[in-house]
Chains A and B, each alone.
Chain A
C-alpha cells in the first residue's frame, strides 16, 4: 500500500536531480503534494508562490517559454478549476510544456469533504485541446507515468490521490502514455478502470474469474489521448464494457469510452463512478460505496452485462 502522491514525490526528485530544467511550483500545499524533499534538495529548481494558484499557472507557462519543464503542484480541485482558464489560455493554446501535478483527486481527501474533493477534473481537462490527461492506478504506475510525462512535449494533467492504496504493479512495469494496459484477457465482458479505483477492478476481476466468468481487464491510465483501439476491440470482442473511475460518471473515463462505442455503433457500456453528486466527509471506501463503487458491485455489474449479452 502506498499513496499515488508519494509516487509523485519520490519520482519528481529523481527527475529533478537528472535534469535541472525540471521545476516544481508549489501553492502552499507542498507538504501535501510531497514536494518538500525536492524543495530542500533542489532549491534552484523550486518555487512556492503561496496560495495563488492562478499565478502559479501563469508563472509555470512563463518558465516553459524559457525552456524549463515546470510541474505546477496543488490539489486537483484547485489545479483543474481555479487555474482552468490560465491552463487553457497560457498552456494549451500556446502548446507549452507545463505539467499540472495534482494530489487529492476524486473523493480521496475523504475527511475534508466536498470542497477539497474533485470529481470534475478529468472531464474539464480532457475537453481542452492539446491537453494530455493521466490518472495512474498505483504507486509504481505513478512513478513511471510522471517520468513519461517529461518525455512528451506539451501540457499534461496528472491526477494523484491522497490515501494509500494497494499496489497493482511492481517497480519493473513499463508504461506508455496513450497506450492502455490489458491486465487480464477474457471474452465475456471487459472492465476498464483508471486511477485509484483500479485495485477494486482488479479484485472484481479476480472474483469473476473464480466464478468462471471470462473477464478482460484494462487499466486506462491515459484518458486523453484515449487508447481507442483497445476500447474498440473490447467492444467488438466482449460486447459489454464496464467503466470504473473515482470521478463523476459524466465526462470522465466512462464518457470517453461511450464516445468510442457510440461512434462505432457497437457494444454496451455501463459507467460506474460518482453519481453526479458532490462528495462529503467520511471514510474513502464508504464514499465510494455510496456511489456504488465496490469490488462486489463491479463484479455484479459485469455478470449482469454478461447475462444480458
Chain B
C-alpha cells in the first residue's frame, strides 16, 4: 500500500477505536477514558499494520504478542480486537457486565486475543520479557510488544524487567510508553516525577526512540526503523509523547478523566468531536 494511503487508513482506524472505546466506557458507566484515548493512535498502528496476528486463530504460535501492561485501558484493546474480528463487534456492549468476556481488566482466559491478564501495574512488562525470551530460544521470528503507562514506570518491577530484557538482548521486544504526563492522583510531575524517560531507557541499554504518539507518520516510521534494526541485540523502547484524553477537548490533559465515564451530554459532545477526527 502507498504510504500516504496507509497513514490515512490508520488515522481512520484510530478514530473508530476512540469512538468504540468511549462508547464502551459510557455504556458500562465505568472505565478509564483518558489513557484509552492517549493510546489510540499507537494501538491503531499496532493492530491494523504492525502486529502479525490471526484473528481466526488467536493462539497461533507464531503470532506477535501484545501485552497491555497498563491493563486499565483495556477498552482501547477490546476495541482493536473487536474491529479486527477476534470476537463479534456487538460484544463491546458488554464491557464490565456480569459474565462478559470483556472484564474490567484484561482476562486472557476469557477474551480471545488477550495474551496475558493484567491490571496490577508494573507486572505485564516482565511477562513480555518472558515471552520474548521464549520466542528467541524457540528460534521464532515473532515479536513481543508491551505498552506501559508513564505512571506505571513508578513501579520498580518495570526497571527490573528492562534490565533483564537488556541482559538477554531482546531485540524482539518493543516496549512502548504512553507518556501522557498524568497518573491517577495528578500530574506525574507532582505525584512521582519520572524524569526524562528517554534518557532512562537509553541509560538502561535500550535502543530508544522518542516520538509524538499522535503523529501517525512518526508512529509508522518508528516501527519501520525498528524492523530494520532487528538483530541489534537490544530491546527497543518507544517513548511516545501523548495527551491524556486526546481527541475529546474537555478530556484532554484533565486528571479527572483518568477513571470516570462520561454522562449522556458529555458522551454526545465527545462522540461529535471524535467523528471530526484529530486536528
Report chain A residues within 8 Å CB of B156: 52, 54-55
Closest residue of chain B to A54 (Cβ to Cβ) is B156
- Check A51–B119 contact: CB distance below 8 A: no
C-beta contact mask, B44-75 vs A, less than 8 Å → 1, else 0?
00000000000000000000000000010000
| Contact residues of A: prevailing secondary structure | loop
A112 interface residue (CB < 8 Å to B) = yes
Tell me the smallest distance from the CB of A199 to a CB of chain B, in Å: 22
Tell me the smallest distance from the CB of B180 to a CB of chain A, in Å: 14
B104 interface residue (CB < 8 Å to A) = yes
Report the interface size for chain B: residues with CB under 8 A from the other chain: 28
Please give 18 more A-B residue pairs, beta carbons under 8 A apart, in addition to A28-B191, A280-B98: A28-B185, A31-B185, A49-B192, A50-B151, A50-B183, A51-B152, A51-B154, A54-B156, A111-B28, A111-B30, A111-B96, A111-B104, A112-B105, A113-B104, A280-B103, A280-B107, A281-B103, A286-B98
A30 interface residue (CB < 8 Å to B) = yes
Tell me the smallest distance from the CB of B44 to a CB of chain A, in Å: 25
Question: Could you list 21 A-B pairs, sorted by A, with CB under 8 Å?
Answer: A28-B184, A28-B192, A29-B184, A36-B185, A48-B191, A52-B156, A77-B120, A111-B30, A111-B104, A112-B104, A112-B119, A113-B107, A114-B103, A114-B105, A115-B105, A115-B118, A116-B119, A280-B98, A281-B97, A281-B100, A281-B103
Closest residue of chain A to B30 (Cβ to Cβ) is A111
A157 interface residue (CB < 8 Å to B) = no
Report chain B residues within 8 Å CB of A114: 103, 105, 107, 119
Q: Which of A250-278 contact B (CB under 8 A)?
A: none
Closest residue of chain B to A117 (Cβ to Cβ) is B104
Report chain B residues within 8 Å CB of A51: 121-122, 151-152, 154-155, 183-184, 192
Report chain B residues within 8 Å CB of A36: 185
Q: Which residues of B contact A (CB under 8 A)?
A: 28, 30, 71, 96-100, 103-105, 107, 117-122, 151-152, 154-156, 183-185, 191-192
A115–B191 Cα gap in the complex (Å)?
A: 23
A48–B192 Cα gap in the complex (Å)?
A: 8
A116–B103 Cα gap in the complex (Å)?
A: 11
Report chain B residues within 8 Å CB of A30: 185
